[in-house]
Amino acid sequence: MNNNIELDNNERNSSDSPVQSDEGNIESQLPAEETTHSSEIQKENEPDNSVTSEQATNEGDDSFSEGENLEKMILSTGIRVGTPVKTKSMSPYIIRANPEGLYILDISKTLQRIDIAAKFIGRTNITKVAVTSAREYGKKPIEKFCEATGAIPILGRFMPGTFTNPSLPKYMEPDIVIVTDPQADHQAVIEATRAGVPVIAVSNSDNVISNVDLVIPANNRGRKALATVYWLLAREVMKKQGKIKSDKEMKTSIDDFETKLVEEMI
């Protein structure tokens, strides 16, 4: 067990059932002043309506329109659109069902968890952060995320024993494991749990979050949605690393993180 992370006993010791408490207390490891509420996180992506008229005059309307455009772009990627199924463990992250019967995830909680994850990752040796995806649409976003931050991608089939068998050529001892889907990437989650390594997981409405320490609630099936999740996470991690100081310094776009279909590449 990683001595720096004290996990919630209800999480690590639970069986893989739909009834599940919230993730382990990675958040409790952050200093109190670093814990950010969803309303504060949203200020990075939305116009701040509390700005005074004097400030608006000084700064102009560009920042407002940019924030609005970013918010619209993020929502247009389907990042908050879940599945027709929800588990009890994911209920706290769901705000409603749409007319088509798909559960809609709370985008404010998505942004909040991305910020918390970035803070946690930022306090870790980035070369000890492993990122994996069994989903095809997750591979390009992971490549770009690792290229931007210095994390280690595990692409293709996850080889059993990667985190638990020192005799394997590609054996590694990560400090954090990020998975794109706790079900599709179950082998990585199981091995990280056995090795006492904290798991951050992008989780949809139908996911069970046993052995997940920090959930990022989001659509983990769509191309654009996954590109958006990893782009947002990369941006926040790079801020914590000091590679960029503001959103405007992010040189790559969400489109750069997106897996391209064959017809789009021709």
| Residues 6+ positions from 24 with CB-CB distance below 8 Å | 5, 6, 7, 8, 11, 12, 198, 212, 213, 214
Average pLDDT, the chain: 81
> What value does the mean pLDDT take over residues 10-15?
40
pLDDT of residue 58: 46
Q: For position 65, what pLDDT does the model report? A: 57
Give 237's contacts (C-beta < 8 A, 6+ positions apart): 118, 121, 122, 126, 148, 149
Considering the domain boundaries, does residue 124 fall inside one? yes
Phi, psi of 177 (to 5 degrees): -120, 130
The CATH number linked to 98 is 3.40.50.10490
How many domains, in total, are found in the chain?
1
Q: Does 9 fall in a domain? A: no
Query: Predicted confidence band at 66 (pLDDT cuts at 50, 70, 90)?
Result: low
Asked, for residue 134, whether it belongs to a domain, the answer is yes
Instruction: Let me know: does 215 contact 92? Beta carbons within 8 Å.
Output: no
Please, which residues have CB within 8 angstroms of residue 242's CB and are 6 or more apart in sequence? none
Decide if 50 is inside a domain: no
Q: What is the pLDDT of residue 216?
A: 98
**3-state SS, residue 215:** strand
Model pLDDT, residue 158: 96
* Spatial separation of the C-alpha atoms in residues 101 and 208, rounded to whole Å: 20
pLDDT tens, position by position, 92-136? 999 999 999 999 999 999 999 999 999 999 999 999 999 999 999
Full domain range(s) for residue 197: 21-44+61-265
Least confident of 54-68, 126-140, 220-234: 54-68
- How do residues 134-185 score in pLDDT, each as one tens digit? 999 999 999 999 999 999 999 989 999 999 999 999 999 999 999 999 999 9
Query: What pLDDT does 1 receive?
Result: 42
**pLDDT tens-digit series, residues 238-251:** 999 999 998 889 99
Residue 214 within any structural domain of the chain = yes
- Structure tokens given for 200: 């951050």
Q: Which is it for strands 214-217 and 129-132: parallel, antiparallel or unpaired?
A: unpaired
Residue 178: how many CB atoms within 10 A of its CB? 30
